[in-house]
Structure 1
Amino acid sequence: MMDFVVRARTKIGIITGSGPDAGLDLWQKVLRANKQMIGDHYRGDLDAPFVSIISEPVLGLSMELEKNDAQVWSALSDVAKELDRQVDYYAIACNTLNYYQSQLGALSLRAQLVSFSEVVKQKLLADGIQKVALLGADSVTDLGEWSPYRQLTEVAEVEIPKSDGGLHQLIYDVKTFGGERKDIIDRFSTLVEGLEADMVLLACTELPLIPIKSKKSLIDVTDLVANELAKLSLSSSR
């Protein structure tokens, strides 16, 4: 007879809205990773993780973060405080918004943030990756003060796309039209193939939504974070 006891697990959360499809993508990847980790012992619904998701449309202003800092932070901090009542660990389904990692830490919330940049650093160090291309919104790829990946150069050589390569607009187009349009696929394929690095970080949650084929190794940061969330969800309740 099947064991119908629901096991005690930690609770995980997802903050989304920049964009909402990215939050859905992260959730789906968490469910897939959870099922893979449980393996043959997976019983279906009862072995799915407890997930709370809050989608805040104001967070979509993060594409121009320098201009919208105050409004974005106000919305993000409010959402983080609300989610803190429900979960043990959480992630923000937006690479750009991980810029606020230190400010979120200063809120002294009980729930712990799973940082995109820290998960990426762990991946590069574990696999011995010494050179990687970084693709994302302008504020991410310029590795300046607004980039959550500005310390990535401490562990690897980082190639960034040309400033006039159209990547920022491409991300906007995915938010509007989705990643399946042929012109979007073609534009992204051309950009990726023009990079020197063989390893490419997809450091924007919209980019994995574009189904391109490439001989390069495309590292989906969302996938890395989903695996970490699933692993944490399988630990005993805090």
Structure 2
Amino acid sequence: MTPRPHTARPYTLGIITGSGPEAGLDLWAKILRHTQTRMGAGFRGDLDAPRLVAVSEPALGLSMDLKANEPAVWTAMETAVREIAPAVDAFAIACNTLNWYAPRIEALLADIPRAGQLVSFQGVLHDEIRRLGAARVGLLGSAPVVALDDHSAYSGLAAHVAVETPADAGRLQALIHDVKRLGSTDASLGPRLQEIIMQMQADTILLACTELPLIARPVAGRQLIDVTDAVAARLAGLALGHGQMRAA
């Protein structure tokens, strides 16, 4: 979808968050970092940070069991989209699981006047996999994501690349719950993730849950791909690209 800049305000990015509590903060921090990196020595700080609108909806946390809670989660998501879409030019949902709603959100946006575009996690991830040229990836995410069924945002991933999922998805799900419950600074969490990664065969590991990059550390012999970071790079690029077009 082509961005539709609002004529009465600067180009604005948006984040829908709430699943989990730190996910939106992490995405915003990464957008800022990519903005600074791309602008280099010309970055002036406050004046060059993208304009941002965020909507944090705790009810979206019900997505950890999406099949059981799908109607309630969609009600919360639709409310959040209707609130944020008219106020932004491009937005993302800071949750891999919730990006399952991307097709339904696209249909909803078509009926919202001056709605910004959705930057979906799956769209960005497919582009990233093509860029890397990976033939096989390990997929780490919440239970709805790694199930790769009709409630997974990445159900179509196997059409593009061989996909390995963790042998014990329940163990990973428990870890994700603990990141939400204990916070990313808890020292016990990082080693648990590292152990799960080392038990996988794939060299390229997709951190397809917004909680996992918060506790991830480098693992020898593995390339960790933070899907949130790739989305942040895309959003920063959209904002900077619009600014450059205006300057020209």
Q: TM-score range by the shorter chain?
A: over 0.9
Instruction: Check if 1:103 corresponds to 2:130.
Output: no
**CA-CA distance at 1:180 after TM superposition:** 2.9
5+ residue gaps, structure 2, are 1-8
Instruction: Check if 1:141 corresponds to 2:117.
Output: no
Number of the residue aligned with 1:3: none
**CA-CA distance at 1:165 after TM superposition:** 5.3
Give the distance between the partners of 1:63 and 1:179, measured in 2 at CA. Answer: 18
**After the TM superposition, which segments of 4 or more aligned residues of structure 1 sit over 4 Å from their partners?**
none
Give the distance between the partners of 2:216 and 2:242, measured in 1 at CA. Answer: 36
Q: Does the aligned pair in 1 maintain the 2:13–2:52 contact within 8 Å?
A: yes
Give the distance between the partners of 1:184 and 1:117, measured in 2 at CA. Answer: 26
5+ residue gaps, structure 1, are 1-7
Number of the residue aligned with 1:20: 21
Number of the residue aligned with 1:66: 67
- Residue-by-residue CA offset, 1:77-124 (whole Å, 9 max, x unaligned): 111111012101000000000000011011114211101011010011
Q: Which moved more, 1:30-39 or 1:8-17?
A: 8-17
Q: Does the aligned pair in 2 maintain the 1:9–1:235 contact within 8 Å?
A: no
**CA-CA distance at 1:164 after TM superposition:** 5.0
How many pairs does the alignment contain?
A: 231
Residue 164 (structure 2) aligned to one of 148, 159, 163: 159
Instruction: Check if 1:57 corresponds to 2:63.
Output: no
Residue 193 (structure 1) aligned to one of 177, 195, 198: 198
Q: Does the aligned pair in 1 maintain the 2:175–2:189 contact within 8 Å?
A: yes
Instruction: Check if 1:228 corresponds to 2:229.
Output: no
Residue 132 (structure 2) aligned to one of 127, 131, 136: 127
Give the distance between the partners of 1:192 and 1:38, measured in 2 at CA. Answer: 34
TM-score when normalising by structure 2 = 0.90
Give the distance between the partners of 1:120 and 1:71, measured in 2 at CA. Answer: 27
**CA-CA distance at 1:155 after TM superposition:** 1.2
3-state SS of paired residue (1:187):
helix
Give the distance between the partners of 2:164 and 2:146, measured in 1 at CA. Answer: 9
Residue 153 of structure 1 aligns with an amino acid whose one-letter code is A
Residue 195 of structure 2 aligns with an amino acid whose one-letter code is T
- Residue-by-residue CA offset, 1:149-180 (whole Å, 9 max, x unaligned): 01111111000011355000100000000233
Q: Which moved more, 1:105-114 or 1:176-185?
A: 176-185
Kindly, what percent of the aligned residue pairs are identical? 45
TM-score when normalising by structure 1 = 0.93
Give the distance between the partners of 2:145 and 2:201, measured in 1 at CA. Answer: 19
Number of the residue aligned with 1:217: 223
3-state SS of paired residue (1:132):
strand
